[in-house]
Structure 1
Amino acid sequence: MRPWWPLVAVCLGTFMLLVDVTIVNVALPPIAASLGTSFGGLQWVIDGYALALAALLMVTGTLADRFGRRRLYVVGLVVFAIASLACGLAPTAGALVAARIVQGIGGAAMFATTAALLATTYHGPRRGVAFGVWGAVNGLAAACGPLLGGLLTEAWGWRAIFLVNLPVAVLAVALTLAVVTESASGARSRIDVLGATSFTVASAALVYGLVSAGEDGWGATETVVALGTAVAALVGFLVVEYRSSAPMLDLGLFTDPSFAALMVAAAVLQAAAFAHLALVSLWLQSVLGLSPIRAGLVAVPLSIASFVVSVAAGRFLHGGAPARPIAGGLALIGVGVLMMTAVGPTSGPWALFAGLVVAGLGVGLATPVLVSATLAVLPPHRAGVGSAAVNTFRQLGLAVGLAVLGTLFAGRVTTVLAGVGTVDPTATANALAGGKAGSTGVPADTVHEAFAAGLDTVFTVAGVCALGAAVLVAVCLRPVAAEDHRVGVRAAAA
């Protein structure tokens, strides 16, 4: 067992940071009731974490190469633990969001170093075993997130989903310091501070503007200022990256249609498959009255289907046609999410089951191939930036996807409420989206009708986007020679 203790240390951190992406969904209604926040605040509980991960993954990878991967991994664990404690003790929604952002910073430091630690610790056949176990833990984290969130929330309250990280982090730090050997490349690559800053501002301002549009309208001052800031910061990012000798993200990579299509696929996959789950959780608990545990169980079919297929789909990694599993997976996600438009005013949770299973099959089919396919279309010396780019666009897709779908949901619910003569339909729609279905004074039939209509819009848009991304990948992703794809697989592991 002794040779495998480093793997245990790395997997503990990996499991913890990935569980925290999905564990929050089930706890959103209790958080809203406890802290009195709106749907916009709830969105930031998820998006703050995802944006921090997206913005800092490539930067923390550079820091790890320079200062030591074990050192940065431990720093990430400590920051993550402190932020988790702050989340568990947060007195207000603003404090919770701030702590979640810090959690994402710690998570980025961990996420950027876990694979490198395994690659430098294990060699030969043991490396394959280590990465196989690590990949299984990745899938298991997604499968356990909703159910674990429901169990902890119902037993001890929503704060427990954050406080449970503390003993896990302490154990992971102790193991890492005891059994993991330090490694660093010794590279002195310049850290692209301007690029990281402008990227962060652009992403955060875009999400803020979309959330504000959902709550206050597209013409609101906050919305206009935020979206204007996002455009200006994006232009600044493009200029900085174009002129930089060591850019955080080489824009020249996007001239390759295959690389560009894979980045779109990574973002759309997360948005279409997972961004709507926050709204589903609100519907299950605040409208249908399910307990957190039962609400968590509803999402389990997607996670289990994804986990089982991702393990079985390993054989695709050795083929020369990554477009097939990626495009096929996105198509299944699109079909599965469109199947969930069957939800109506009188529907129960079982109306989601078949669609969640089909979408889960698509997630499991496409996800394992994304990184290796990206590395197969890039030169070997670009393996690091390729891997970081995929994970960055996945987290960015989740954050922006939730903001977009939340805005569409609020707009559709407002329209339905206005159509039946509801007084102040915008405020009522915001209350419904914030998990306050029982305190709006609106008849239950109207609440069910409005929420179902909002979900229908969300599922339709998400499904169509996934199908569009599937077509894009099928058209733009060039065939990869078998040897090139094997090189991509090896680079993905290393």
Structure 2
Amino acid sequence: MNIRTADPAATTSPGATRWALASLALAMLMSSLSISSANVALPTIAHAFAAPFGTVQWVVLAYLLAVTVFSVGAGRLADIVGPRRVLVVGILVFTAASVVCAAAPDLLVLVIARGIQGLGGAAVLALTVAMVRAAVPSHRTGSAMGLLGTMSAVGTALGPSLGGALIAGAGWRSIFLVMVVMGITAAALALRHLPGDRQAGRPELRAFDIAGTLVLTLALGAYALATTAGETTGAGTAVLVVAAIAGILLFLHIEARAAAPLIDLNAFADRFLRSGLVTNLLVASVMMATFLVGPFYLSRSLGLGEAMVGLVMSVGPVVSALTGIPAGRIVDRFGAPRVAVFGLVEMAIGALLLALLPGIAGVAGYVAALAVLTPGYQLFLAANNTAVMTGVADDRRGVVSGMLSLSRNLGFITGASVMGAVFAFGAAAPVATASGAAVAAGMRLTFLVAAGLMVLAVVLARRGGSGDR
């Protein structure tokens, strides 16, 4: 059971609240841009360093791995020393690493710098959500969560076009120089406008669970590598999966006996937290399927060229950007548990439409289905973040927010692996050589499964959100 605390932002002036939200929004935008803009730079980087794609993809993977494995650790550290301190340090680490990325003399230095950038990104992604409660009054929490969701979507949508324009005009290094400017600005705004940290009152919060953090990092790293490293052999993948399972079991053993555990296992007795984390993972898996399967279907089955594929694929992020803030306001008006369920129902309908409509109406059917699925995602995201973070004690905000970030990232990498396997199974042929009809069959099966996952998420959300906290 979580302990409710006084609203820390209830007496904050509207102007101060707006500036605090601006600092959090810029930090979220920066972290989203760092992924999507780097993706579009991979071919140019491969040419610049004369490296194969299998090696260059680590420019993206190093960042994603670091963000995934350090999210909870960053959150727990924030609970110990203060969320604003850790957020600002995270932004500064991200910014310094961006400088190294821009000046990297070879691919190895670039990949290492991207990993360090991911360390800062882990703190940014976890603590922008954790800081909302301290920065805005409680009756505006949903709107603030919606704004952060909008900034994440704007970064995802803007990254490819901004990255492409920068690369064409000033070279691939310029995409990292932009991050330096954004990072300096975000750090200055955070230092100036975010509320200061209140000293933790309980002595056990002075300890940091180094053993638990190390074991969890290794376990999550093994799992992420098993599901993202495409060139790993079958035996290598099996070894990584076994290592991940063994690592999680060892982590649970350590946490059960730690004086100040990284994750308090008793927290999972809270049905809101359990439901929020699991549904967050399921939703992220489904959203990853749209990015994974969509380009194959649009190009192979519908015969669209590269430019049109990119245009149609941008519909989802654009709709997300437009619906994030309204979604947050809906949460404030109708309550987070109810809106979370409604968002999941809308996502289930959208996934079902993605399985059926494109085969009937082509591109128009695909776009119409996305226009249903994506607003449902934003409703869920704003509502779920609000429901999970509401009522969390101040000394647990960081780690709970880190767990939300972790569940989302695990959903993305699990979705890439599992939903990719479902797609390949449905196509009944190697995807690289499959016919348009085979790809369409894979698409239908993938989103029928996705619709089923969303129905499961609805059941879990209703059970987790019933009753009073």
TM-score, length of structure 1 as denominator length: 0.73
Distance 1:284 1:133, change over 3 A: same
- Contact in 2 for aligned 1:263/1:389 (Cα 8 Å): yes
- Partner of residue 119, structure 2: 105
- Contact in 2 for aligned 1:326/1:473 (Cα 8 Å): no
- Contact in 2 for aligned 1:258/1:477 (Cα 8 Å): no
> Aligned with 2:463: secondary structure?
coil
> Aligned with 1:71: secondary structure?
helix
> Aligned with 2:314: secondary structure?
helix
- Partner of residue 420, structure 1: none
Q: Kindly state the Cα deviation for residue 100 of structure 1 after the two structures are TM-superposed.
A: 2.9
Counterpart of 2:30 (choices 8, 13, 16) is: 16
Distance 1:75 1:199, change over 3 A: same
> Aligned with 1:248: secondary structure?
coil
- Partner of residue 286, structure 2: 272
1:301-355 alpha-carbon deviations (Å, 9 max, x no partner):
21233344443343345346356324314413532543587499xx8x7674233
Q: Distance in 2 between matches of 1:25 and 1:342?
A: 30
Counterpart of 2:222 (choices 191, 205, 213) is: 205
Distance 1:397 1:48, change over 3 A: farther
- Partner of residue 378, structure 2: 364
Q: Distance in 1 between matches of 2:312 and 2:405?
A: 26
Q: Kindly state the Cα deviation for residue 277 of structure 1 after the two structures are TM-superposed.
A: 1.7
- Contact in 2 for aligned 1:306/1:364 (Cα 8 Å): yes
Q: Distance in 2 between matches of 1:93 and 1:450?
A: 36
> Aligned with 1:478: secondary structure?
helix
- Contact in 1 for aligned 2:37/2:162 (Cα 8 Å): no
Distance 1:148 1:336, change over 3 A: farther
Counterpart of 2:311 (choices 297, 301, 306) is: 297
Distance 1:330 1:390, change over 3 A: farther
- Contact in 2 for aligned 1:207/1:403 (Cα 8 Å): no
Q: Kindly state the Cα deviation for residue 255 of structure 1 after the two structures are TM-superposed.
A: 5.2
How does 1:344-383 map onto structure 2 within 5 Å?
352-375=366-389
Distance 1:340 1:209, change over 3 A: farther
1:352-373 alpha-carbon deviations (Å, 9 max, x no partner):
4233222212212211111233
Q: Kindly state the Cα deviation for residue 385 of structure 1 after the two structures are TM-superposed.
A: 4.5
> Aligned with 1:114: secondary structure?
helix
Counterpart of 1:57 (choices 52, 57, 71) is: 71
Q: Distance in 2 between matches of 1:456 and 1:45?
A: 33
Q: Distance in 2 between matches of 1:43 and 1:328?
A: 35
> Aligned with 2:198: secondary structure?
coil
| AA matched with 1:107 | G
- Contact in 2 for aligned 1:78/1:106 (Cα 8 Å): yes
- Contact in 2 for aligned 1:340/1:459 (Cα 8 Å): no
Counterpart of 2:185 (choices 171, 190, 194) is: 171
> Aligned with 2:429: secondary structure?
helix
Q: Kindly state the Cα deviation for residue 283 of structure 1 after the two structures are TM-superposed.
A: 8.1
> Aligned with 1:105: secondary structure?
helix
Q: Distance in 2 between matches of 1:94 and 1:22?
A: 20
1:222-268 alpha-carbon deviations (Å, 9 max, x no partner):
22322222222122122122222332223344456664343221012
| AA matched with 2:217 | T
- Partner of residue 421, structure 1: none
- Partner of residue 5, structure 2: none
Q: Distance in 2 between matches of 1:5 and 1:476?
A: 33
Q: Distance in 1 between matches of 2:298 and 2:43?
A: 10
> Aligned with 1:113: secondary structure?
helix
Q: Which moved further from structure 2: 328-337 or 357-366?
A: 328-337
- Contact in 1 for aligned 2:80/2:200 (Cα 8 Å): yes
Q: Distance in 2 between matches of 1:29 and 1:342?
A: 32
- Contact in 2 for aligned 1:15/1:138 (Cα 8 Å): no
Q: Distance in 2 between matches of 1:29 and 1:455?
A: 28
- Partner of residue 467, structure 1: 452
How does 1:35-114 map onto structure 2 within 5 Å?
44-90=58-104, 95-114=109-128
Counterpart of 2:212 (choices 195, 209, 215) is: 195
The alignment of Structure 1 onto Structure 2 pairs a total of residues equal to: 444
| AA matched with 1:236 | L
- Contact in 1 for aligned 2:320/2:375 (Cα 8 Å): yes
Q: Kindly state the Cα deviation for residue 113 of structure 1 after the two structures are TM-superposed.
A: 3.3
Counterpart of 2:330 (choices 298, 301, 315) is: 315
Distance 1:390 1:70, change over 3 A: closer
For structure 1, which runs of at least 5 residues remain unmatched after alignment? 418-428, 433-446, 485-494
TM-score, length of structure 2 as denominator length: 0.77
Q: Distance in 2 between matches of 1:380 and 1:75?
A: 20
1:144-176 alpha-carbon deviations (Å, 9 max, x no partner):
423342233145255443332111112223334
Q: Kindly state the Cα deviation for residue 50 of structure 1 after the two structures are TM-superposed.
A: 3.5
- Partner of residue 462, structure 2: 477
- Contact in 2 for aligned 1:215/1:407 (Cα 8 Å): no
- Contact in 2 for aligned 1:272/1:463 (Cα 8 Å): no
Q: Kindly state the Cα deviation for residue 395 of structure 1 after the two structures are TM-superposed.
A: 1.6
Q: Which moved further from structure 2: 332-341 or 465-474?
A: 332-341
- Partner of residue 441, structure 1: none
| AA matched with 1:477 | R
